[in-house]
Amino acid sequence: MFEVDIVCLRRLTASCCNYGMHYQQPTIPESSTNQPTVCVLCSHNCGLRVDVEDNRITAVRADDTNPITNGYACNKGFSIAHYVEHAQRVEHPLKRQPDGSYARISWDQAVHEIGSKLRQVKDDHGGQSVGLVGVGGQANHLDGSYALALLLGLESPWWFNALAQEKTQHALVDKWLFDAYPTFHFHADVHHSEYALVIGTNPLISNRGIAPREWVAALSDPTRTMVVVDPKETETAKKADMHLAIRPGGDVYFLLAMAATILQEQRYNRAFVERYVDDLATLQAEVGGLDVARLCDLAGLAEDEVRGVARGFAAAESASIFVDLGLEQTRFSTLTAYLMRLIAGLTGNLGNRGGMTFMGLFGAEGPSLRKQEFVAPESGIEAIAMWAPIGAFSYNLVPEEVLADRPDRIRALIVDGANPMLQAADTPAWRRAVDALELLVVIEPAMSETAQVADYVLPAPCGYEKWEYAGFPKGFPGVYAQVRPPVVSGPSEALPEAEIFRRLAHAAGLVTTLPRPLSWLLRRARSPRLAGLALPALAA
């Protein structure tokens, strides 16, 4: 079993699930021009401006006033109208019938039946028999606190998220090396780097990160060096000072060769290492003793080029390593995450301008709510907390935990903003798992592949039909968050995910009464005319 900080849990559950008893749909003009919003198709959330006619997005432009992306948007952002105008929108709650068809039902019926079934599964088999898949999406983060509050209220350890398939190795290594909170993100301050090493990404075309226009300037600055490591000669590689056409999957050998060269030739930052690095002798023996020529051969690279890159990185006034999915989804991703930090640490490029820095989320920062992360019984894999107060697992663990031969196997799943029947590996295994579930609830704007096999499908507005928030870590040393209003109206019966989770928590009997002082503050927080009374009271 796992332990939860019960004080934090009560505060989170009470505050999230007691907020507002009646949801009102926002009133949105049918037509408008130059409305600010963001792209929800990747984690960079580039700023956009849109024109709307007859409740349809008719024009999309990059937003020059957005302080994060400064008038840049990649080609994905200009297609958001197709994301909104989906031919398979879910317009009202649906319940699967015995013949496989779906019948329209009321929200009251859906919430009551789902809440009762969640409670029954928990009472019969324990909270470990309920799981949550997804949550949020690429710029829809207001539901996160509500979804996780419901999960913790059910005493479930099971949160499955795409981050755990591609990114959580970074959070794990940051915890090991720096005791970092899961709300911190290790990031290359590449815009100020004298020497930039770019691995597994093509920022000239997409996913440029913060201040993308500065990326373009960096590519042509003669005082700076950019080395691109990529099997393909990408658009960014063509602009770089050097392109290393690495063998696919050879990244770990390249990084090991760099670290070994720095140690063998003693090119590390002595002052920094003496102050901050533990047990240099072990590093010298284990990493410094590696055969660099053999590593370069495994990476498909020339030894003199790799050693030259290591020397240039170590000699630079500031240096950073900018990576993305090309590195993160290859082999040995945890080891490559460690080696990135090792190389930065050995060369004194931790916490400095132009080096590797930590960005924070906009919001509360702290350790995981769980005193010890849960370990998946079937695989032995431990949950990893990243950008959230509890640990997450990969989607790919779901089938084996549903099909397991034990009483507390997963029996009920809520899927929010995810499509694991299409996204996850081994769709036949997922299909068998779905057939073995006692309850599958999908919260979605569209009738996705996963929705088509669910017991209940609950309609949510898409990211442009509701107030929303993009909370991915952005900016250094500042911290940015993007809050945006709706620009078009969604289906009349669609409810924001946060409201859906609030109602389910009530229906499952999870909501407790707030302590009287907190209830008093909450009532006044909802009444602006009483704010003047509340603030002096707090000051007193």
Q: What is the pLDDT of residue 212?
A: 63
The answer to whether 388 and 182 have CB atoms below 8 angstroms apart is: yes
Q: DSSP H helical segments within 61-162, as ranges?
A: 80-84, 107-125, 144-153
What is d(CA 135, CA 162) in angstroms, rounded to the nearest whole number?
A: 9
CA 182 to chain centre: 11
List the one residue out of 509, 512, 460 whose CA is nearest residue 25: 460
What is d(CA 303, CA 264) in angstroms, rounded to the nearest whole number?
A: 14
Q: What is the pLDDT of residue 95?
A: 99
E strand or H helix at 326: helix 325-328
User: What band does 527 get if pLDDT is binned at 50, 70 and 90?
Assistant: low
184-360 topology per CATH: Dimethylsulfoxide Reductase; domain 2 (3.40.228)
What tokens does 97 get? 């019938």
pLDDT digits (tens, 9 = 90+) for 12-41: 444 444 433 467 777 888 999 999 999 998
Q: Is the pTM of this model over 0.75?
A: yes
Q: What is the pLDDT of residue 538?
A: 34
- Per-chain mean pLDDT for the chain: 88
- What percentage of residues in the chain have a pLDDT greater than 70? 89
Helices (H) and strands (E) in the chain, counts: 21, 20
List the domain boundaries for the chain. 6-13+88-162+381-461+489-507, 184-360, 515-540
What is d(CA 78, CA 537) in angstroms, rounded to the nearest whole number?
A: 49
Residue 154: C-alpha distances to residues 123, 385, 497, 510, 515 (Å): 10, 19, 17, 7, 21
What is d(CA 538, CA 506) in angstroms, rounded to the nearest whole number?
A: 30
pLDDT digits (tens, 9 = 90+) for 201-256: 998 887 666 766 677 677 678 899 999 999 999 998 998 999 999 999 999 999 99
Q: What is the pLDDT of residue 119?
A: 97
Phi/psi at 14 (5° precision): -65, -45
User: What band does 539 get if pLDDT is binned at 50, 70 and 90?
Assistant: very low
Q: What is the pLDDT of residue 13?
A: 44
What tokens does 149 get? 């509050």
What tokens does 536 get? 């002096």
CATH code of 6-13+88-162+381-461+489-507, in short, is: 3.40.50.740
